[in-house]
Chain A
Amino acid sequence: MAGSGVMIQWKTMISGGKGKTGRFLGIRATIALISMSFCLVVFPATGSTLIISAEKQLGLADGLFSRAEYADAISEYRRFSCFFPDHPEVDYAEFRIALSYFLNRNHEKALTHFETIAGLGIDSPYGIEARFMISRCCLALGRQEAAVAVLNNLISNVDDIDVRDRAYYQLGWIYLASDPLVDAGGIDRADAFFARISDKNSAFYKVGVLTERLRAVKEDEQGPLLSQKNPTMAGILAVFPGAGYVYCGRYHDALMSFLFNSAMAYAAYEAVDADLEALGSLIGITGLGFYAGSVYGSVSAAHKYNRANAMNFLNNLKEIRVEALPATGRDGIAVRFRVPF
């Protein structure tokens, strides 16, 4: 109703209503309308105009990326690629999109994007970097064999000694750190890849220290290789409650396991002996669960012991790791050091 009222009034103003006064009002309304239209059309054009240049757009995306706001960075890099498709930095933007997915732990999408970039050819601006990143994505997705294959393929297709050395270094670390347990085979393979790094880059990658530590760990009685606990042995020993835990160095757990299982077995026996078969059965079944739990726990303790030892060793080794990460600027490779002090 209110709307129709306004309409009638407006119609009266435009048509001028009746009489002189009405005509005068009609002229004023028309002038006002033309003025408003003029203001609406002219003023935005005469005000300050913001033109987003390619550099500004890319700067915005880079800023978001550097602040680790990867989802927003992806949108802005996409906007850049869309509005400036002929700009020379489009490859850079596409690579940054893939990298943002990787750093955002969306490894599947990152892999797809890096594969697209790698598909442009090994000589394309980010062809080699994309291959390194594909390997890392595969590793993050648990596809170790694929990660190794990508790097081996890169080594066989590239003559650049720096790229090859970097691939050898990354391959060595794949064999060292991808499995939660360190085994002699993995150490030997890693050692072999580190040994292939050229003299030119061996100091840069600290090959001497690495190989020295890898060889030392094979002879270290307390190291992750020689001090490993055998999970099968722990399980067999756990047939006698607590013995498996003792083998793994868990003496409190061993004592508790021994006392609890003994008490349950004795209680079940006493209950049955006192003609309380139902109670005896209930205690027996409960005790059986704890007995099985004790065996399971012993095997698990051996695995956890080995894993903790391996992680400790790897963490010490990672202190001297040189990480060659994809460029954070627009050209070249940024290298990040982590040196103990």
Chain B
Amino acid sequence: MSRIIYRRHKSGRVFFIVLAILLISFPVVGQEQDRPEQGGTAHVGATKTNDTALMPATVELFKKHISPIDGDRCPMYPSCSQYSLDAFNKHGLLMGWIMTCDRLLRCGRDEMTSAPRIMVNGRQRCYDSVENNDFWWER
């Protein structure tokens, strides 16, 4: 009985930590949407990510400091990090994060047989852009 109560107590704490993380994240979602006024010139994807946004900054950190050491190993084009930035830029934090996770799960597997191949810097890669994955809901 005490074990069950203890577990409930723990799950409550986990719930509050999750809630706190989400509350920290969502104001960033609210800030990053910078939609142009009607009739104005739209940026690609009609949204612009705030440079201080948490996730894009993390991806930039990866691109600048980890990727050069790790090497250019992504078999897809654009690379997963660039795809992630594109997704954040175009769709904001929530959808950008989901699309990034989706891409990381798919990278280098079945997409390689179905997506078109292109040559990038003398190396054949599989073309899988954000537009290739949001065409069914972003028209």
Chain B contacts of A284 at CB under 8 A?
Answer: 14, 18
Chain A contacts of B106 at CB under 8 A?
Answer: 253, 256, 297
Q: How many residues of A contact B (CB 8 A)?
A: 33
Chain A contacts of B97 at CB under 8 A?
Answer: 289
Asked, given contacts A281-B14, A284-B14, whether A253 binds B109 with beta carbons under 8 Å apart, the answer is yes
Asked, given contacts A251-B110, A277-B17, A278-B17, whether A293 binds B99 with beta carbons under 8 Å apart, the answer is yes
B100 CB–A CB distance under 8 Å: yes
Set B13, B105, B114, B136: member contacting A293, Cβ < 8 A: B105
- A277 near B110 with CB under 8 A, answer no
Q: Which residues of B95-139 have CB atoms within 8 Å of chain A's CB atoms? A: 97-106, 109-111, 114, 132-136
A275 CB–B CB distance under 8 Å: yes
B4: min CB distance to chain A, Å? 14
Chain B contacts of A293 at CB under 8 A?
Answer: 98-105
- A256 near B109 with CB under 8 A, answer yes
A22: min CB distance to chain B, Å? 71
B95: min CB distance to chain A, Å? 8
Chain B contacts of A280 at CB under 8 A?
Answer: 14
B10 CB–A CB distance under 8 Å: yes
Chain A contacts of B110 at CB under 8 A?
Answer: 245, 249-253
Chain B contacts of A282 at CB under 8 A?
Answer: 21
Measured CA separation A308–B114 after assembly (Å): 8
Query: Closest chain B residue to A180 by CB distance?
Result: B135
Q: How many residues of B contact A (CB 8 A)?
A: 27
Asked, given contacts A285-B18, A293-B102, A294-B105, whether A300 binds B10 with beta carbons under 8 Å apart, the answer is no
Chain B contacts of A285 at CB under 8 A?
Answer: 18, 21-22
Set B100, B105, B132: member contacting A257, Cβ < 8 A: B105
Main secondary structure of the interface of B (DSSP, over half): helix
Query: Closest chain B residue to A181 by CB distance?
Result: B136
Main secondary structure of the interface of A (DSSP, over half): helix
Measured CA separation A296–B138 after assembly (Å): 14
B121: min CB distance to chain A, Å? 26
- A272 near B98 with CB under 8 A, answer no
Set A231, A253, A303: member contacting B105, Cβ < 8 A: A253
Asked, given contacts A256-B105, A297-B105, whether A272 binds B14 with beta carbons under 8 Å apart, the answer is yes
Set A257, A292, A300: member contacting B136, Cβ < 8 A: A300
**Interface digits, B71-113 against A, CB 8 Å rule (1 contact, 0 not)?**
0000000000000000000000000011111111110011100
Measured CA separation A110–B49 after assembly (Å): 34
Chain A contacts of B102 at CB under 8 A?
Answer: 293-294, 296-297, 300
A266 CB–B CB distance under 8 Å: no
Measured CA separation A121–B135 after assembly (Å): 39
B18: min CB distance to chain A, Å? 5
Asked, given contacts A277-B13, A293-B99, A293-B101, whether A252 binds B109 with beta carbons under 8 Å apart, the answer is yes
Measured CA separation A245–B105 after assembly (Å): 11
- Could you list which residues of chain A lie within 8 angstroms of chain B, going by C-beta atoms? 180, 231, 245, 249-253, 256-257, 260, 272, 275, 277-278, 280-282, 284-285, 289-290, 292-294, 296-297, 299-300, 303-304, 307-308
Show 7 A/B contacts (Cβ-Cβ < 8 Å), sorted by A. A245-B110, A251-B110, A272-B11, A281-B21, A289-B97, A296-B99, A307-B135
13 other A-B residue contacts (CB within 8 Å) besides A275-B10, A282-B21? A180-B135, A251-B110, A253-B109, A256-B106, A272-B11, A289-B97, A293-B100, A294-B101, A294-B105, A299-B136, A304-B114, A304-B133, A307-B135
